[in-house]
């Protein structure tokens, strides 16, 4: 074979190998390529909300969020791109508390316009309810309407800034006592001088609340808010009205009176006569005043004699309804004993038995106290709540006025009987109430170690005796403040929070309003005599023991309490 033919054959063989190698590499490349991808999905069949958050908290239309900052960031993501020019007409944002027409806001977009971010143009108000929504007017770029609304209801956080200049604790206590005293002094009934039931009561004055008001007058003189001459003149008006004008039944007063005529104003249909418990609160105050106005001059001597005439005129033993070993709360000239409410403990009525036993004219024997007051089912407790043993009363203690009304005059410190240490009772009941609010098992917005105190008070659209077992989310300032003698640190923290932090909401012309609810953003516009009085009196007992010392200095009270088995350094 010629050299040319050999070269041609070699060249052809090389060409074949090149073709084979190329085919091999092409095949390898095909085999290493991933399988064909499916076609892209069709556009969404609907325009939906995927996620919704405010400050990273997920929300839904059935809940209210609490404690939201004053610069909330609302973020909503959608299943498709948003048509921007539909956003302004679809978004609504307003302050429900102030009923303002709208909140100025800015809208921004993320994630290829599938996320809307809404921020207020300026910080929004503290402690206000806001309503935000995106309606189905919002459309996607594909022209689809939003499949369902976005709704958000939220309440902003508490403004922790101090509303008033910080003053010393003593100056603050003076201020609170003096401002609260105005309820009884400036707003006292112009004819009788007695305390109106509440700031909207007009002619209706309250016997029990007036007893608290009398103790407040004594406190005000002692603190220099009024002169002794001014206080004496008011007391002469009050005592003269009670002695000569006010309607009485076997010496006992009704719950409510007309402040001009002295006639009964029925508390209820059958409660239109004597109320022995309210009478007890009134006499507790009168006896303190009798001990305070101790000058030998004619004016104060006459005042003391008139108070004694009222005191000695109450037929305590007649309220045994015969010879029963229990006292009854009510008697009516038209319905007799039909109210049928025996006074049994443990509650706010200890003072009634103490005074009934102390009366030298119509006293009761100890068996009435033992069988009636102490013999009630559930009088003794003994269980432990939040680490505190409760000697007496209902589960978790009940409302705090149980430890206030009777103890405006009775000093629980050092007081005991065969079964109970009353300093432990009053303190532990208060600490249970405080700790319950601090732990806040129901999750109410605002409850904390400086926002606590459950007792009887006004509530939205009504009135109730709040307690750990009947907690509707309403705090009454009187509960914590009137507990100062029992829980000074916890009560002082609450008092300062109420004044400095919430003062723009609840500090008014007669001191603190009756109650408030941060969860409902409700602040009472009411003041009640039976809640304002204990604030003044118990602050004073905390500071000086004035009312405790006056009441327990009564010789009749010493004898009466001793006859019931009490022991204390002051007896």
* C-alpha dihedral sign at 458, 460, 465, 471: negative
Q: What is the pLDDT of residue 45?
A: 77
Average confidence score pLDDT of the chain: 94
Cβ atoms < 10 Å from Cβ of 516: 25
Task: Assess whether 203 and 307 both reside in one domain.
Answer: yes
Q: Which two tokens stand for residue 224?
A: 């220099």
Q: How many degrees, rounded to 5, is the angle at CA 392 between CA 391 and CA 395?
A: 100
- Residues 357, 500, single domain; the answer is yes
Q: How many CB atoms lie within 10 A of CB 17?
A: 10
**Number of independent structural domains in the chain:** 2
Structure confidence by residue, pLDDT tens digits, 140-157: 999 999 999 999 999 999
Whole-number Cα distances in Å, 198 to 262, 446, 480: 17, 26, 20
DSSP 480-525: HHTTTTT-HHHHHHHHHIIIIISHHHHEETTEE-S-EETTTTEE--
Instruction: Tokens 């002619």: give the residue.
Output: 203
- Judging by beta carbons within 10 Å of its beta carbon (0-12, 13-18, 19+), is residue 487 exposed, middle or buried? buried
**Mind listing the pLDDT tens digit for each residue in 77-87?**
999 999 999 99
Q: What's the CA gap between 232 and 400, in Å, rounded?
A: 32
Residue 18 lies in a domain: no
Residue pLDDT, tens place only, 417-457: 998 999 999 999 999 999 999 999 999 999 999 999 999 99
Q: How far apart are CA 507 and CA 521, in angstroms?
A: 15
Three-class DSSP category at 274: strand
Give the pLDDT score at 110.
Answer: 97
Pairing of strands 150-156, 64-68: parallel
Tell me which of 26 and 252 has the higher pLDDT: 252
Q: Which DSSP state fits 264?
A: B
Q: What is the mean pLDDT of residues 284-304?
A: 98
For residue 189, is pLDDT > 60?
Answer: yes
Are 123 and 255 contained in the same domain? no
386: helix, coil or strand? Answer: coil
Confidence of residue 100 (pLDDT cuts 50, 70, 90): confident
* Residue that is last in its domain, among 98, 121, 156: 156
Domain assignment present for 7 = no
- Report how far residue 45's alpha carbon sits from residue 545's, in angstroms, rounded to the nearest whole number: 77
Contact 447, 440 (CB under 8 A): yes
Reported as a pLDDT band with limits 50, 70 and 90, residue 43 is low
Bond preceding residue 83 cis, omega within 30 of 0: no
Reported as a pLDDT band with limits 50, 70 and 90, residue 42 is: low
Same domain for 196 and 114 = no
Q: Are residues 255 and 131 in the same domain?
A: no
Same domain? For 335 and 292 the reply is: yes
Asked if residue 517 is part of any domain, the answer here is yes
Measuring CA to CA, which residue among 533, 558, 565 is closest to residue 355? 558
For strands 49-54 and 57-58, give the pairing. antiparallel
Residue 26 belongs to some domain of the structure? no
User: Taking a C-beta distance cutoff of 8 angstroms, is the pair 278, 265 a contact?
Assistant: no
| pLDDT of 266 higher than 60 | yes
**24-45: average pLDDT:** 55
Residues 6+ apart with CB under 8 A from 245: 192, 261, 262
For residues 81 and 199, membership in a common domain is answered with no
- What domain range is 504 assigned to? 169-563
Task: Provide the pLDDT for residue 32.
Answer: 45
Identify whether residues 332 and 210 lie together within a single domain: yes
CATH label of the domain that carries residue 128: 2.60.40.1220
Mean pLDDT of the region 47-69: 96
Q: Which of 99, 131, 156 is the last residue of a domain?
A: 156
Averaged pLDDT for residues 203-210: 98
Percent pLDDT > 90 in the chain is: 91
Above 70 in pLDDT, residue 13? no
Is 477 a member of any domain?
yes
What are the pLDDT digits (tens) for 529-538? 999 999 999 9
* Token code pair at residue 381: 């407790």
In a domain, 6, yes or no: no
182 and 268 belong to one structural domain:
yes
Mean of the pLDDT values across residues 251-276? 98
Query: In this model, does residue 18 exceed pLDDT 70?
Result: no
Q: Please tell me whether residues 347 and 448 are part of one structural domain.
A: yes
Of the pLDDT bands very low, low, confident and very high (cuts 50, 70, 90), residue 517 is very high
Phi and psi at residue 394, to the nearest 5°: -75, 175
Residue 179 and residue 309 in one domain:
yes
What is the CATH number for 223?
A: 1.50.10.140
Question: Is there a contact between 561 and 362 (Cβ–Cβ < 8 Å)?
Answer: no
Q: Which residue reads 């029963």 in tokens?
A: 324
| Residue 375 within any structural domain of the chain | yes
Q: What are phi and psi of 95, to 5 degrees?
A: -90, 105
Assess whether 148 and 179 both reside in one domain: no
Which of 123, 156, 189 is where one domain is finished? Answer: 156
Residue 276 lies in a domain: yes
How far apart CA 180 and CA 510 sit, in angstroms, is 5
**In this model, does residue 34 exceed pLDDT 60?**
no
């Amino acid at each position: 074979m010629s050299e040319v033919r050999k070269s041609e054959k070699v060249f052809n063989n090389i060409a074949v190998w090149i073709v084979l190698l190329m085919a091999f590499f092409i095949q390898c490349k095909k085999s290493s390529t991933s399988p064909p991808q499916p076609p892209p999905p069709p556009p969404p069949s609907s325009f939906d909300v995927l996620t919704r958050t405010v400050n990273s908290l997920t929300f839904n239309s059935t809940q209210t969020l609490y404690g939201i900052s004053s610069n909330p960031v609302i973020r909503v993501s959608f299943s498709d791109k948003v048509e921007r020019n539909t956003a302004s007409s679809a978004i609504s944002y307003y302050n429900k508390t102030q009923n303002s027409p709208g909140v100025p806001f800015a809208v921004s977009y993320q994630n290829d316009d599938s996320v809307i971010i809404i921020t207020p143009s300026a910080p929004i108000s503290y402690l206000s309810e806001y309503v935000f929504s995106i309606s189905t007017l919002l459309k996607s770029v594909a022209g689809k309407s939003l499949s369902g609304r976005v709704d958000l209801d939220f309440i902003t956080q508490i403004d922790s800034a101090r509303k008033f200049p910080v003053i010393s604790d003593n100056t603050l206590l003076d201020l609170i006592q003096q401002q609260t005293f105005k309820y009884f002094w400036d707003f006292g009934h112009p004819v009788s001088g007695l305390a109106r039931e509440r700031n909207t009561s007009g002619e209706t004055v309250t016997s029990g609340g007036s007893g608290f008001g009398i103790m407040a007058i004594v406190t005000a003189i002692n603190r220099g808010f009024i002169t002794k001459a001014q206080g004496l003149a008011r007391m002469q008006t009050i005592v003269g009205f009670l002695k000569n004008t006010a309607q009485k039944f076997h010496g006992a007063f009704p719950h409510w009176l007309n402040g001009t005529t002295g006639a009964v104003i029925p508390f209820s249909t059958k409660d239109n006569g004597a109320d022995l418990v309210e009478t007890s609160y009134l006499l507790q105050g009168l006896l303190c005043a009798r001990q305070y106005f101790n000058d030998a001059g004619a004016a104060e001597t006459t005042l003391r004699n008139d108070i004694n005439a009222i005191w000695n005129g109450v037929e305590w033993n007649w309220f045994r309804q015969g010879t029963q070993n229990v006292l009854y709360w009510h008697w009516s000239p038209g319905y007799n004993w039909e109210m049928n409410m025996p006074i049994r403990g443990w509650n706010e009525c200890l003072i009634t038995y103490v005074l009934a036993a102390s009366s030298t004219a119509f006293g009761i024997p100890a068996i009435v106290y033992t069988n009636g007051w102490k013999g009630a089912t559930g009088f003794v407790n003994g269980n432990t709540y939040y680490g505190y043993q409760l000697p007496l009363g209902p589960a978790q203690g009940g409302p705090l006025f149980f430890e206030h009304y009777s103890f405006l005059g009775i000093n629980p410190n050092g007081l005991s009987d065969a079964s109970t240490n009353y300093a432990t009772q009053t303190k532990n009941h208060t600490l249970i109430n405080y700790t319950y609010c601090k732990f806040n098992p129901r999750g109410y917005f605002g409850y904390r170690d400086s926002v606590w105190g459950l007792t009887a008070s006004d509530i939205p659209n009504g009135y109730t005796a709040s307690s750990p077992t009947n907690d509707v989310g309403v705090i009454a300032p009187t509960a914590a403040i009137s507990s100062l003698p029992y829980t000074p640190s916890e009560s002082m923290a609450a008092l300062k929070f109420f004044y400095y932090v919430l003062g723009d909401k609840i500090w008014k012309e007669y001191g603190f309003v009756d109650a408030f609810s941060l969860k409902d953003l409700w602040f009472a516009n009411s003041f009640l005599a039976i809640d304002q009085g204990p604030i003044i009196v118990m602050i004073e007992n905390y500071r000086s023991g004035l009312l405790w010392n006056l009441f327990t200095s009564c010789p009749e009270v010493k004898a009466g309490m001793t006859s019931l088995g009490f022991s204390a350094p002051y007896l």
